[in-house]
C-alpha cells in the first residue's frame, strides 16, 4: 500500500510558491541526489535547512530542502507537486514496503546492510527523453564531466528557466555555467544542431549517438508510450536498437526515466560489487520487482564503505 502519510501544505515567500511536506519517512535528499542517478542537481551550500539540493527538472529550476522529516520544495505549487514532483521524487511509493520486499528475497548480509545504510534513497522519475540522452552522454564518463556536458547542450539548445525568487536557493556550482539555468533540449533542437554542432560541445564520440537518438525520438521510431507498456527485458532490447545504447545505458534510462524498478544496470562498479558480495551464479532477477532499487542501495553502500576506508 502506498504511503500517503505526508501532510502537504502550500507556502509563499516573495511571490515564490513553496510546498511543505510534513511526516516524510525514508527520504534523504542528500542520498537521493548524490547516488549518481541525476546530473542536474547540486547542493545549496549556505542553505538555512539541514540540507538542500537545487536543479532543473521538467523545465523548472526547483530546490528540495530537508529538516528531519520535513521536506520543502521551492518554486513549486501544490498542483505541480501532485502531477510532477511527487512522482519525480519517488514520494508516491511506500519504501518501507519496498525494503521489506527486497529483504524477503535474499538472506545476503551485505544486501541487508546496504538496505539499512542506504535507506532514504528514492528512485527519481525523470523525464524519459532526458534520461535516455543523459545516460548516452554518461558512457565512459565521470559525473562532473557529465554534468558539464548536459549543461553545455542545455545552454546551446534549451530554454532559459525562471529563477524569480530563487536567489537563496541556487546551488553555488551552478553559477559557474549558465547552462545550469536552461531546460533540457528537445530532440528537435538537437537535430537542428547536428552531429558537428554536438561534437563542438565536446561530446566526442557520443555526438553521433545523441543525434541518432534525437532523430529516432522525433520520428517516433522511439515510442515512449510503447516503452511504458513493455516489460523491462523487452524494453532493454528495444532501446538497444538505438546507436550507442547498450544494456547498461538502456537499463539506466528505464530505471530512472520510466520507473521500471526491476531494471538492474550493470557497469564495472556493480560487477565488482556482485563479485565481492554474491555467489558466482547470482541473478539480479532474484531480487524481484525492486531489483533496481536494490542495485542503488548496493552502489551507495559500496561507495560509503570506500569513503570510510579512505
Q: Could you please report the per-residue DSSP string of 165-201?
A: T-GGGS-GGGGG-GGGGBPPPPHHHHHHHHHHHHIII
pLDDT band for position 310 (50/70/90)? low
- Given a cut of 50, whether residue 121 has pLDDT beyond it is yes
The rounded mean pLDDT for the chain is 95
- Given a cut of 90, whether residue 149 has pLDDT beyond it is yes
pLDDT for residue 6: 85
pLDDT for residue 268: 86
Rounded to whole angstroms, the Cα distance separating 208 from 194 reads: 9
Cβ–Cβ < 8 Å for 10, 78: yes
Q: What is the mean pLDDT of residues 68-96?
A: 97
pLDDT for residue 308: 65
pLDDT band for position 301 (50/70/90)? very high
pLDDT for residue 3: 46
pLDDT band for position 5 (50/70/90)? low
- Beta strands 16-22 and 60-67 are unpaired
pLDDT for residue 131: 98
Q: Give the CA distances from residue 81 to residues 16, 20, 211, in Å, rounded to whole numbers and listed in that order.
A: 14, 10, 33
Q: What is the mean pLDDT of residues 170-182?
A: 97
161, 168, 226, 159: which is closest to 188 by C-alpha?
A: 159
Backbone φ and ψ of 124, nearest 5°? -70, 140
Strand order in the sheet with 7-13: 7-13, 16-22, 70-74, 60-67, 51-57, 41-43
pLDDT for residue 304: 76
Q: What is the mean pLDDT of residues 210-236?
A: 97
Rg (CA), the chain: 19
Q: What is the mean pLDDT of residues 53-59?
A: 98
User: What are the helix (H) ranges across 24-141?
Assistant: 29-33, 78-80, 86-88, 95-104, 109-117, 128-137
Backbone φ and ψ of 12, nearest 5°? -150, 140
Q: What is the mean pLDDT of residues 96-100?
A: 97
Rounded to whole angstroms, the Cα distance separating 151 from 69 reads: 32
- Given a cut of 70, whether residue 307 has pLDDT beyond it is no
Q: What is the mean pLDDT of residues 78-106?
A: 97
pLDDT band for position 309 (50/70/90)? low
Q: Tell me what percent of the residues of the chain surpass a pLDDT of 90.
A: 92
Q: What is the mean pLDDT of residues 114-143?
A: 96
- Given a cut of 60, whether residue 4 has pLDDT beyond it is no
Q: What is the mean pLDDT of residues 144-153?
A: 97
Per the model's pLDDT, the better-predicted residue between 137 and 304 turns out to be 137
pLDDT for residue 85: 98
pTM of the prediction?
Answer: 0.94
Locate 226 and state its grid cell.
510503447
7-95 CATH fold: TATA-Binding Protein (3.30.310)
pLDDT band for position 288 (50/70/90)? very high
Amino acid at each position: 500500500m502506498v504511503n500517503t502519510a505526508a501532510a502537504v501544505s502550500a507556502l509563499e515567500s516573495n511571490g515564490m510558491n513553496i510546498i511543505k511536506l510534513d511526516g516524510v519517512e525514508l527520504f534523504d535528499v542528500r542520498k537521493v541526489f548524490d547516488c549518481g542517478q541525476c546530473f542536474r542537481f547540486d547542493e545549496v551550500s549556505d542553505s538555512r535547512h539541514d540540507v538542500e539540493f537545487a536543479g532543473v527538472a521538467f523545465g523548472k529550476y526547483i530546490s528540495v530542502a530537508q529538516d528531519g522529516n520535513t521536506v520543502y520544495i521551492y518554486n513549486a505549487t501544490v498542483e505541480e507537486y501532485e502531477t510532477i514532483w511527487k512522482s519525480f521524487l519517488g514520494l508516491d511509493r511506500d519504501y518501507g514496503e519496498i525494503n521489506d520486499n527486497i529483504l524477503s528475497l535474499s538472506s545476503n548480509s551485505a544486501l541487508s546492510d546496504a538496505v539499512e545504510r542506504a535507506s532514504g534513497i528514492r528512485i527519481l522519475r525523470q523525464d524519459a527523453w532526458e534520461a535516455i540522452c543523459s545516460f548516452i552522454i554518461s558512457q565512459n564518463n565521470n559525473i562532473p564531466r557529465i554534468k558539464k556536458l548536459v549543461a553545455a547542450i542545455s545552454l546551446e539548445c534549451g530554454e532559459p528557466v525562471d529563477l524569480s525568487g530563487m536567489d537563496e536557493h541556487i546551488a553555488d556550482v551552478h553559477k559557474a555555467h549558465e547552462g545550469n539555468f536552461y531546460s533540457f533540449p528537445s530532440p528537435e533542437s538537437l537535430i537542428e544542431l547536428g552531429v558537428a554542432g554536438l561534437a563542438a560541445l565536446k561530446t566526442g564520440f557520443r555526438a553521433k549517438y545523441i543525434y541518432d537518438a534525437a532523430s529516432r525520438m522525433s520520428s517516433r521510431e522511439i515510442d515512449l508510450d510503447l516503452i511504458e507498456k513493455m516489460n523491462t527485458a523487452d524494453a532493454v532490447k528495444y532501446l538497444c536498437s538505438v546507436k550507442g545504447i547498450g544494456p547498461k545505458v538502456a537499463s539506466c534510462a528505464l530505471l530512472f526515466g520510466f520507473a521500471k524498478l526491476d531494471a538492474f544496470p550493470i557497469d564495472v562498479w556493480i560487477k565488482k560489487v556482485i563479485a565481492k558480495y554474491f555467489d558466482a551464479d547470482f541473478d539480479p532477477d532474484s531480487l524481484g520487482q525492486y531489483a533496481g532499487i536494490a542495485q542503488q542501495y548496493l552502489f551507495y553502500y559500496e561507495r560509503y564503505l570506500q569513503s570510510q576506508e579512505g
